[in-house]
Amino acid sequence: MSLGTSLHLKYLICPQIPSLARYLQSSDSFKIYRYCSSLQITSLNNSLSGLIPEEIHGCEELENFAASNNQLQGDIPSSMGLLKSLKILNLANNSLSGSIPVALSRLSNLTYLNLLGNELSGEIPSELNQLVQLETLDLSENNLSGAISLLNSQLKNLESLVLSNNALTGSIPGNFCLRNSNLQQLLLARNKLSGKFPLELLNCSSLQQLDLSDNRFEGELPSLLDKLQNLKDLALNNNSFIGALPREIGNMSNLENLFLFHNLITGGIPMEIGKLQMLSVISLYENQMSGQIPIELTNCTNLTAIDFFGNHFTGSIPATIGRLKNLFRLHLRQNYLSGPIPPSLGYCKRLQFLALADNQLSGSLPPTFRFLSELSLVTLYNNSFEGPLPTSLFLLKSLKIINFSHNRFNGTIFPLSGSNALTVLDLTNNSFSGPIPSTLAMSRNLSRIRLAQNHFIGNISSIFGHLTELKFLDLSFNDLSAGLPPELSKCRKLEHLLLNNNQFTGTMPPWLGSLQELGELDLSSNQFYGTVPAELGNCSRLLKLSFQSNNLSGEIPPEIGNLTSLNVLALQRNNLLGSIPSTIQQCKKLYELRFSENFLTGSIPSELGSLTELQVILDLSKNHFIGEIPSSLGNLVKLERLNLSSNQLQGEIPSSLGELTSLHMLNLSNNHLQGQLPSTFSGFPLSSFLGNDRLCGPPLLSCSESVRQRKKELSNSEVVGIIVVIVFISTVICFVMLYIMLRIWCKWREVSISSADSGGTEKKREEGKWVYGDEKRRGEYWKVNSLSPVSSQDKRTSGIACIFQLKMDSEAM
């Protein structure tokens, strides 16, 4: 068909017809409009691209032009303002740019204008107020800015005005709406509008949907809000409204959806809320509301969703909550609710989402929970629930997410293993006991199992190897024992494996190296022995590796350097030998390194200085390192704690360590270090340097005082030596002198006795009188003396007798 000067087409509707689409996408795609003067309806949906031609004005009788969901670009041609017959213009979801042409205001018959989802910018032309026949105007999801200049007082036939997702500013005009308007839908969400709640909107009595969410409105909600009697949906969320929820809201009898979340609303929920028989959704989360949840709320029997998360509500959950037969979502998390879960909750049989976490609820779970057959998610964590779980929970086959962590539940967890649809099970920090049920492995989509801080016993069943979707397994702080089943190597998606603080035994399995998605591996505080598997070097995504407090031996494998993403490496309190491998320098992202309390030897590798991200701690204490502290450690400028104590390090402390300005804990004690401390170390306690006899400088003695002290200590030792020599010599001399005096005296005594025997009786008597006293005493003396062998001519015997006589004389005296 050749195109003449005019085509009497009235309808051109082009769905996805390939041949026509190729033509319409060509450079001549819009030339048809030069000749279709009688065309009335055009509907093009062929992934068109390019510009809208100015020649479009040739279709003088065009009434409906719909080219939405294409890839049209460029400006909207002003020539479209010449299409006097146009009633519907739909250019939604293209890539049109530029401003909205003022010429569109000349389309006096236009009833529908939809430009949403483009890249239009600039202000909304106030001339559009001349489109008095307009019923629907949608300019949402563009880049429009400036104030709202459209007035419903002029657009009297307007029923729907959608300006959401732009950058409009200012407030809503005071003369925006007149009484008896036809406006039913006003959507201004996600702009930058500000000011108080526009009272002018209360004149729009025909409004059914009002969305002012995600703006900057503030102030209190007006008590005259109930003037909007026909309102069904009220969305004021994500603003800064304050004050209490007005009681008059109970008069809005047609209200179905109430969204006030993420504001600054205070006070309680008015009991008048119970009059809203049509209410389906009430969302008040993330405000500052308080008081009790009114029991009148349960009169709203059409409620399907209640969300009061993140407020300050107190008291108990209404005992009549079971009246809400249509309820499928109940979110009361992060409040101050107390008391038990009311048994009537079990009669909300359509309930799928139950979130009661972060409250002060207590008691045990009611047996009526067994009626919640559609329950998919239940979170009760951070409460004070206690007691064993009802066995009837095993009947809940739709459960996908269970979080009962941080409560006081006890007994077996078997009732929670009835569902094969589980994806998350978190029972951390309770008092559950017994073995871990192998039936959990029937939920093949389980991705997270967290059973830490309980009293589980037994081993890990090999059947858990079937959980191929498992990403998080935390069984830490229990009483589990035996070795790790090799079937766990089939859980190739594991990212977190936390088995610390149990009683696992055996060697570290090499198959751990096959879990290449691992980001966290913690097997600390168990009874593992043997060597650190070199295969762990294959876990290149590992961020944390902790084997502390086991019985591991052997050397640290050099393959540890392959863990280039590692942040934490903790191997302390084992029996590791050898030196630190130089490949550790490849772990550039390490910020915590602990090798303390092992039997590591050799010098501290200078390569540690290249780990410049080290921040939390570098702990090499209680090993057998020798040599000097490498000066390269001065490169660790982020380091906060350094512990090199209880080694055999020598030499001076490198001055570069004094430049570690982030350091707030330092321990170099019990080594053989010497020399002056860097001046920046003066703020550390004395205990940081004790056990290094030749260190000096603050907080120790100054180096000059330290030298004098050592000299003083040397002088004192010399004095002590001299004193010892003098005492020894004096003692020898005293013994020699005493011996000589005794010999002289005994000689003299021998001579005196000999003289007495030769005839000097009177002289002897006189001498005895002076020496021994009265006659009786003298008789005793001679009685004893007569026993002495003094008559012997042997000098040695005479000497002994002399000494014996001296002793007897002393006793007599």
HSE-CB for 812 with a 13 A CA cutoff: 21
Q: Which pLDDT score, from 0 to 100, does residue 183 have?
A: 92
Q: Which pLDDT score, from 0 to 100, does residue 145 have?
A: 96
Q: What is the pLDDT of residues 615-627, one digit of tens each?
A: 999 999 999 999 9
Question: For residues 811 and 801, what is the distance between their CA atoms, to the nearest angstrom?
Answer: 15
The residue-averaged pLDDT of 707-714 equals: 54
- Listed in sequence order, the DSSP H helices in 247-385 are none
Tokens 């009697």 correspond to: 229
Q: What is the pLDDT of residues 344-375, one digit of tens each?
A: 999 999 999 999 999 999 999 999 999 999 99
Q: What is the pLDDT of residues 437-470, one digit of tens each?
A: 999 999 999 999 999 999 999 999 999 999 999 9
Pairing of strands 216-220, 192-196: parallel
Would the CA dihedral through 745, 746, 752, 756 be positive or negative?
A: positive
Q: Check pLDDT > 50 for residue 524.
A: yes
Q: Which pLDDT score, from 0 to 100, does residue 789 have?
A: 37
**40 CA to centre of own chain:** 63
Average pLDDT along the chain: 87
Q: What is the pLDDT of residues 539-594, one digit of tens each?
A: 999 999 999 999 999 999 999 999 999 999 999 999 999 999 999 999 999 999 99
Q: What is the pLDDT of residues 747-803, one digit of tens each?
A: 777 666 655 554 444 444 433 433 334 433 333 333 333 333 334 444 444 444 444
Q: Which pLDDT score, from 0 to 100, does residue 720 have?
A: 67
* Bridge partners for 626 per DSSP: 603, 648
Q: 205-218 burial string, b = 16+ CB within 10 Å, else e?
A: bbbbbbbbbbbebe
DSSP 8-state secondary structure symbol assigned to residue 603: B
Among the residue ranges 251-255, 287-291, 558-562, 714-718, the one predicted with the least confidence is: 714-718
Question: For residues 494 and 473, what is the distance between their CA atoms, to the nearest angstrom?
Answer: 8
Amino acid at 352: Q
Q: Which residues contact 232 (CB under 8 A, 6 or more apart)?
A: 208, 209, 254, 255, 256, 257, 278
Count, in order, helices (H) and strands (E) of the chain: 5, 55
DSSP 406-443: SSEEEE--GGGG--S---EEE--SSEEEEPPPGGGGG-
Question: For residues 662 and 675, what is the distance between their CA atoms, to the nearest angstrom?
Answer: 23
Amino acid at 467: L
Provide the whole-model pTM: 0.80
Q: Check pLDDT > 70 for residue 46.
A: no
Q: In 3D, which of 370, 379, 420 has the Cα closest to residue 398?
A: 420
DSSP 713-779: HHHHHHHHHHHHHHHHHHHHHHHHHHHHHHHHHHHHHHHHHHHHHTT-HHHHHHHHHHHH-SHHHHH
Give the 3-state secondary structure of residue 54. Answer: helix
Tokens 């995600």 correspond to: 214
Q: What is the pLDDT of residues 314-328, one digit of tens each?
A: 999 999 999 999 999
